[in-house]
Amino acid sequence: MKQNQNSRRINQMAREKLGNILLFELSDPELELITLTGVEVSIDKSVCRAYISCDKERYERVGAALERAKGRIRSLLGHSLGWRVTPELSFRIDTTADEAETIVRALKDVPPTLDIPKDEEGYPLDRAQGDGGGRP
C-alpha cells in the first residue's frame, strides 16, 4: 500500500492503541507472548489489518483467540481512536521471523560442494586440467 506522511501517522496511532489493548485490556491466556509487528489502515479508515507474531506451534490457537476477541478489540479500539468510523479488524499471522530463522539455519549448514574453489564461471577448479578444466 502506498504510504504518505498522513497514512504513516494513522498506522502508527492505530498500532499504539491496538498494542495497548492487546497488552492491557485482554485477559485471554492464548494471547500472551504475542507481538504486534505491524498495522495497516485503509485510506478511508474502514479496514485495519494487524500483523501478529507468535511461536510457530501457536499459530492456530492465537488465530482462533483473536477471532473470538475481535468484537471486543474493535469496540475498545473504536473508543480509543475516536475516529468517525471504527475500522473492521483483520488479523494476520506474521511468519517472517520464522522464515528468517529458517534461512539463518540454512546458511549455517553449508553443503560441502560450496566449499570447493570455483572459477569465475562457477566451475570447480580442483579437476584435472587435462579434461577441459572442469567444464563440460
pLDDT for the residue 107: 79
pLDDT of residue 136: 54
pLDDT of residue 126: 66
Q: Is 134 left (phi over 0), alpha (psi -120 to 50) or beta?
A: left
Match 509487528 to its residue by C-alpha cell.
37
25: cell is 485490556
pTM of the model: 0.73
The Cα angle at residue 95 between residues 91 and 99, in degrees rounded to 5: 170
What pLDDT is attached to residue 104?
87
Query: Is residue 47 classed exposed, middle or buried when 0-12, 13-18 and 19+ CB atoms within 10 A define those classes?
Result: middle
Instruction: Give the pLDDT confidence score for residue 2 in this predicted structure.
Output: 67
Q: Are 45 and 83 in contact (CB under 8 A)?
A: yes
Express each pLDDT in 86-116 by its tens digit: 999 999 999 888 888 888 888 787 777 777 8
Low-confidence ranges of the chain (pLDDT < 70): 1-2, 126-136
Contact 15, 38 (CB under 8 A): yes
Q: How far apart are CA 33 and CA 41, in angstroms?
A: 24
pLDDT of residue 10: 94
Domains of the chain and CATH, by start: 5-94 (3.30.300.20), 96-136 (no CATH)
